[in-house]
Structure 1
Amino acid sequence: MAQTLYFPLLLIALCSISECVQRQYHFINEKMDWTEAQRYCRENYTDLATVDNMNDMIQLNKSVKVNDRGVWIGLQGTYDSNWHWSSGDSVLFLNWASGQPYSGDNCAVMINGKWFVGSCSVTWTFICYNISGGLVFINQTMKWTDAQSYCRQNHIDLVSVRNQNENQQLEKFINDSQTFGSAVWIGLFRDIWQWSDQSNSSFRYWITGAPQAPDDKRCAAVAQYPQGQWLDFLCSVRWQFPFVCHEDKLIVIQQNLSWSEALRYCRQNHVDLVSVQSVEMQRRVMNVVKLASTEAVWLGLHNYCSMNMWLWLTGDMVCYQNWAPGNGSTPENCKLENRKGAVQSGGDQTWISRPESDRLNFICTNY
């Protein structure tokens, strides 16, 4: 009986292990304008710093060795305005009411299951989510940015809605929590900002009142006080600051190899095939996999037939799940096909099961 109980407990323990940050930050204590800083980072590292989440922000702030008026990061204004989720989730599903979004406002509310664009300065109640994925109704009215800050300080972030099923669950949760027909902030917003490395990260950490006048001539800098939040400045020579570069630890190899050959290549030239054990890592995979030349790209994911389970090369269980429909189960003939896991390079970039003899591009990690 003890052995029977031990194995599930072991799996829970394995699933609770947090992974290391997959982007390394380098503080450069030389004052340059934003364009010069970008050129320096691209020549010596990967690019000016991209930030995916609050954990990245903490690591970046730790790398900064001096107090200055500002420290450049890789966020720059553009001509294009795009919708993002506050949590950084990809925008794969939209559920606008008829005629929406109809105005130049930049934040979204849900009313009776449909989404409406609204002014970010209006106050509404809102929904956070916590680390277990549970929803939390906040029966206080706040502006969108204040609601975002509240969720990040007390839970994880404002809620994201990734598909119709989640939208229906959220609608029921809201109706059970407050009066039917009321407007509630969700984590959807739009802005014109783009990362230098073309990352799709939607994480923003503006200080109150910023950005002042976002356009294609302004860039973001970390203000050391308070709390390392961001200000915007003209990118030109008028403003010169030290800066932070980042060095990516994921590399797409554009060679068509079998899974075993890809594994050998990564271990000889880098560290290993990549393991994707969290939403954060999946976002980073999504950022680099677009460079692939094959429709799918090998991951460090293999089927362990005798235990009827999938494992990462790190030995960890597949706790975070991103399988495409119809994938992820152990096929009856897995011993014959020797199935391995890959990520689609297009579409939703979900995981699929492929025979290990297929010849695909692959992602190596330097951790």
Structure 2
Amino acid sequence: MGENANVKRQYHFINENKTWTEAQRYCREKYTDLATIDNMNDMNELNKSVNNKGFQYVWIGLQKTGRDKWQWSSGEPALYLNWGDKPPDGRDDCAMMLNGQWHDLPCSNNRHFICDNTNTGLVLVNQMMHWTDAQSYCRQNHIDLVSVRNQNENQQVEKFISDRQLSGSYVWIGLFRVSVSWQWSDQSNSSFRYWNTGEPNNVGGENCAAVSQNTRGQWLDDPCNKHYPFVCHEDKLILIKENLMWSEALRYCRQNLVDLVSVHSEEIQHEVINVVKRASTAAVWLGLRHFSILGIWFWVSGETVCYQNWAPGNGTSEEDCEHTVRSGAVQSGGDQHWISRPETDKLNFICSRY
């Protein structure tokens, strides 16, 4: 490995011709996933793994999602959706309400609309506008087009419309469809792209990305059912977004990967910081245990704790006096320091393949 010792993922070139979906399945069984690429450094590593073996095209883990993403004008994700009898078919990009149900219609339709205002609440605007003009109007004069985040708000807006004698009319709400985007197979939010000039050109359903060897490894979009060799990646650290007690987390890692992570160098702490940002709990279990009889902390991998990254007031011998068994976790926000927590807390955790 040498210079690669601190690369946070390894690439594995697989010389078997498969469709994109078959390649994805193979990588998920044998490694972490089809290759994700974060930066030019990763791209060079990936190219090294393919290493001009004479293949023209090689699959990577980038795919155009058929899923349409609806979101609120305010920027909030649309978690609650209340489509009428016809769910969106992917042709129209803006949403209206009719008798409490939502319908997608072309954004160029002229309709009444509802703005949100901090002081007065809902505001019905008695002018007919395109959705985008309605959005601008609300943003200039109020806050934004209305968001309808749950059933309760949906009923309020429906009642608001009928109180103003507009039942039976379509009224714009702040919901719109974000144009179809490319997504990494492992759900990474890496925005790095290395398309060749003129790509992705989307000629007839080209929904998967491949590396082209004849353009210095730049990418093109291709139909997903073509058969190409492919590159998998293997993450060294994996965040598990399940909330388990420390001993359950240890068992999970040992059964499914190698172990709960031991952070015995600054390099590994950097990798932990990369991984931990996506956690859903404020702290995340490490393989760090307090041995109260001896009054010491140790890593489950057997190393003593030489490199340290404790938050102030944590990791001291005062823990000896408590009767709760303590284990070590890393903060998922802020400075990502280590903290001592009762081992019965239920937290996300990080498994390691080292």
Q: TM-score, normalised by structure 1?
A: 0.47
Larger Rg: 2
Q: TM-score, normalised by structure 2?
A: 0.49
